[in-house]
Amino acid sequence: MIGETLEYSKVAQKGNPEMFIMDRMSKYSTDLFQTSLFGENFAVFCGASGNKFLFSNEKKYVTSWWPRFLLKVLFSAESLENIDQQDSIKLRRVVVEFFSSEALQHFIPIMDLMAKEHLEADWSPLGEVKVLPLSMKYTFALACRLFMSIRDPNHVTRFADPFHLITNGMMSLPINIPGTAYNRAVKASKVIHQELLAVIKEKKKELLENKARTVAGDLLTNMLLASDENGRVMNDMVVASSFMGLLIAGHHSTSSAITFVVKYLAEFPHVYSEVFKEQMEIARSKGPKDLLNWDDIKKMKYSWNVACETMRLSPPSQGTYREAIDDFTYTGFTIPKGWKTYWTPLSTHKNPKYFPDPEKFDPSRFEGNGPAPYTFVPFGGGPRVCPGREYARLEILVFMHNVVTRFKWEKAIPDEKIAYNLSPIPVDGLPVYLKPHKQGC
């Protein structure tokens, strides 16, 4: 029942989850190894070939799966009873359309304006800031604005506080007794569901009153309007549960990526200098009140290489799970039906076979054609690739533009430790000393 769950958690808390993967690849096979996690038999697929196999065989050999302890946090009992495969297909279609490149271009000015307001309110007055909590505040407020059309800071806080409990506890030991982090996450999930149901009720009222034009641009309204060929719409609790997962994914992983971009820019001044040069060229080409647009984003090539190298070394997602829907064979081993599979970027991102001198921070790895296929996989791949990957790219680049053109900084704790929860996090929140640029820079 326990298997290697405790050992995996222990290694992750020490900041080296890749040790768990790489040690077993070395001991057993570079392609595949067996373990037991969360009371389930697991086949862990490794390397570029393993990634390609899982990404390419969705619905043929494997299908999406989540551990029960995560479902208990993310979904209510009612939503688990009412959701069906057609609901999942509809939801993914709505999400993919919402996060398409064409649709996201309209969000760039909003992202830029909110980043400017965030830095002015929460960074500029202070000489020292903690990057992780502030980046989470920014990405969550942005998600509330774009996903639900919520702008009131007090309303955002009502969501943010219980979400903090969820993200802190959902990957902790799943002991559901009062006082544990997991129990606090379960309770916070119920609070979030009720808040979301209240928002859904209000949006439905607006739709009935033909006021949809005031909110039709947000993700939640699009989910409420989704129906099948018979005109059936989804149960409100199903929408609320699915939406909660999107909110977590929409801000937690990008917060981690932004935090580590700031970390690496502090550690490598020559990289910061190149990013600053690229972003200042864009800034100088614009008027005082002009906001960023799609053409500006396309010019941020080096900055995106830096962000990619950041996600290679500190991937925001540690991987996802699948379930075998039939017996199948891979590299000579049979994976029985019902077994769970796991893929992780940790098997390739720091693997010297794919990235020479893997611990070195080197954005040039992403120049030209970049890494070999299926080796750099921060967003997964195949039919289940993260639909929000372009949203994350825009959010990271817009924030980089604003923070780099406004500040220099240095780390307050040079050797701050890294722990892993849903994503890698600096244990002290990455405190940095800010140094505003001199006028004329």
User: Considering the domain boundaries, does residue 122 fall inside one?
Assistant: yes
- C-beta of residue 420 within 8 angstroms of C-beta of residue 253: no
Top-confidence residue, 435 or 233: 435
| Structural domain count, the chain | 1
User: Considering the domain boundaries, does residue 53 fall inside one?
Assistant: no
Question: What is the layout of strands, in order, in the sheet containing 407-411?
Answer: 128-130, 431-436, 407-411
The pLDDT value recorded for residue 206 is 83
User: Considering the domain boundaries, does residue 334 fall inside one?
Assistant: no
Distance from C-alpha of 314 to C-alpha of 317, rounded to nearest angstrom:
9
Cα→Cα distances 258→265, 370, 414, Å: 11, 21, 18
- C-beta of residue 385 within 8 angstroms of C-beta of residue 320: no
User: Considering the domain boundaries, does residue 5 fall inside one?
Assistant: no
User: Considering the domain boundaries, does residue 396 fall inside one?
Assistant: yes
386 assigned to a ligand binding site: yes
Express each pLDDT in 202-258 by its tens digit: 988 888 777 545 445 789 888 888 765 566 677 888 888 888 888 888 788 999 999
Expressed as residue numbers, the domain containing 96 is: 61-317+378-436
Q: Using DSSP, state whether 429 is helix, strand or coil.
A: coil
- C-beta of residue 437 within 8 angstroms of C-beta of residue 404: no
The pLDDT value recorded for residue 215 is 45
Express each pLDDT in 253-304 by its tens digit: 999 999 999 999 999 999 999 999 999 999 999 998 999 999 999 999 999 9
User: Any idea what the CATH number is for the domain that residue 79 is in?
Assistant: 1.10.630.10
User: Considering the domain boundaries, does residue 28 fall inside one?
Assistant: no
User: Considering the domain boundaries, does residue 165 fall inside one?
Assistant: yes
User: Considering the domain boundaries, does residue 6 fall inside one?
Assistant: no
Buried b / exposed e along 285-310 (16+ C-beta atoms within 10 A): eeeeeebbeeebbeebebbbbbbbbb
